[in-house]
Chain A
């Protein structure tokens, strides 16, 4: 990988993304999403994307830009009420939307990263969102079978990284980022700060470098 190790420019990183990809993006609202990567993805015009994320930011802000630009084919996530453009685009038949309860969403991403193809949860049993899903009764309670959620690319945000790609997060900016780091074929991390190998306390590392392929610095 040369002298730069895993570090690339934002443009080089975005060039690795193909049209039609399934892309996971970390963040909860506007906390902890990889702002520089999302801006560059919006500017690239790469389309036909399936975006897997908690929400879609606000109208025209953050991931909301991808929708405004018409780059999205489908969404998999759980809360789009902060961006009413999603409901409108869905009702006009412009995009597909798969709603997943938030805890199930988190666990399905984790499962994908750790080699678990499916798991049972009580959330959504008997409801509209559980419709058509396999169920099983354990100890008298009904559970829904949920499949793991995989992606081609994960765009994540971390606060600090060493040059190997060990990651540390900041407060509630952590959210889905460490899970998505494990669940995609290619993980690109945007980091605020990078430090030499050996200067992160090994006990404080949240995402070990094995899960990180490419890093970009937040400018």
Chain B
């Protein structure tokens, strides 16, 4: 099936919309970005007092390093070479997860295979015998103050990723706060999934057909920036 929004466009739209969430903060923020779409969020964060933490032990991650600036001892948690920002600091992995577990990290932005209507998140493994890794996903989801999921609305073969109940192994229960896809922005409020913004390409009916999870339409539903 032909997607309503191309994959490239979808990723940029999701990343830009998540970055916007941080733009309005009236205080400094510390955020942790997962691999994939979440990493792109950094490109759209314009505020000087948003600090990016990577769980391998750095607070103050700068843009990806290129050319001569590549230092293989300076990487993010996705093993990409990065740069440091002024005021950056380094620490060991226990201190890093102390920041996360201790609730000092304002938000984590992660990708997911599935998010269900209870706010459960499945993002660590598709049991196929090839993958064997959990990384920091469980610690981040249970520890960060806000959990923001950036993912495409459906799988490559068009199946909903916002589901009634996760069928893949769950990473954390009732931890999702915000889900941003190329087709909408959903927030969990009092255990209910609320559609707050909708993409210009879809109607509520079309979006409902692509979403297995039950959701409520926010009064004053907004159009998401394309």
Interface residues of A (CB under 8 A from B): 28-32, 54-55, 78-82, 84, 86-88, 90-91, 97, 99-107, 109-110, 121-129, 169-179, 206
16 of the cross-chain contacts (CB-CB < 8 Å) are: A31-B74, A78-B134, A81-B131, A87-B131, A102-B135, A103-B100, A103-B101, A103-B139, A103-B143, A121-B139, A123-B142, A123-B143, A125-B142, A170-B73, A172-B56, A176-B93
In the complex, whether B30 has a CB less than 8 A from a CB of chain A is no
Which of chain A's residues have a CB closer than 8 A to the CB of B71?
Answer: 171
- In contact, B135 and A106 (Cβ under 8 angstroms): no
Indicate whether A169 sits within 8 Å of B90 (C-beta atoms), given known contacts A29-B75, A122-B143, A126-B170.
yes
Query: In the bound complex, how far is the Cα of B133 from the Cα of A174, in angstroms?
Result: 21
A106 vs B136: C-alpha distance when bound (angstroms): 10
Interface centre among B57, B93, B97, B101 (most CB of A within 10 A): B93
Q: Do A82 and B173 touch (CB < 8 A)?
A: no
Report Cα–Cα, A75/B8, bound state, in Å: 37
- With A and B bound together, what is the CA distance between A28 and B74 in angstroms? 10
Contact B136 A172 (CB under 8 A): no
Q: A28-B75, A103-B97, A104-B139 are in contact. Are A81 and B57 (CB under 8 A)?
A: no
> Which residues does chain B contribute within 8 Å of A91, judged by CB atoms?
129
| Contact between A78 and B129, CB atoms less than 8 A apart | no
B72, B90, B129, B143: the one contacting A174 at CB < 8 Å is B90
Instruction: List 7 other contacts, CB 8 Å, given A82-B79, A103-B140.
Output: A28-B75, A101-B134, A102-B139, A103-B55, A129-B134, A171-B90, A174-B91
Q: Which residues of B are interface residues toward A (Cβ below 8 A)?
A: 54-58, 71-75, 77, 79, 84, 90-94, 96-98, 100-101, 129-140, 142-143, 169-173
Contact partner of B57 (CB less than 8 A), chosen from A55, A79, A128, A175, is A175
Please measure, in the bound complex, the distance between the C-alpha atom of A102 and the C-alpha atom of B91, giving whole angstroms.
Answer: 15
Chain A at the B interface: mostly helix, strand, loop or mixed?
A: mixed
B137/A81 in contact, CB under 8 A: no
Q: Which residue of B lies closest to A130 (CB)?
A: B138
Tell me whether B57 and A174 are in contact (CB under 8 A): yes
> What CA separation (Å) do A122 and B72 show in the bound complex?
33
**CA gap between A122 and B173 in the complex, in Å:** 11
Q: B118 to nearest A CB, angstroms?
A: 12
Known: A169-B90, A172-B57. A126 touches B173 (CB 8 A): yes
User: Judging by beta carbons under 8 Å apart, are B139 and A172 in contact?
Assistant: no
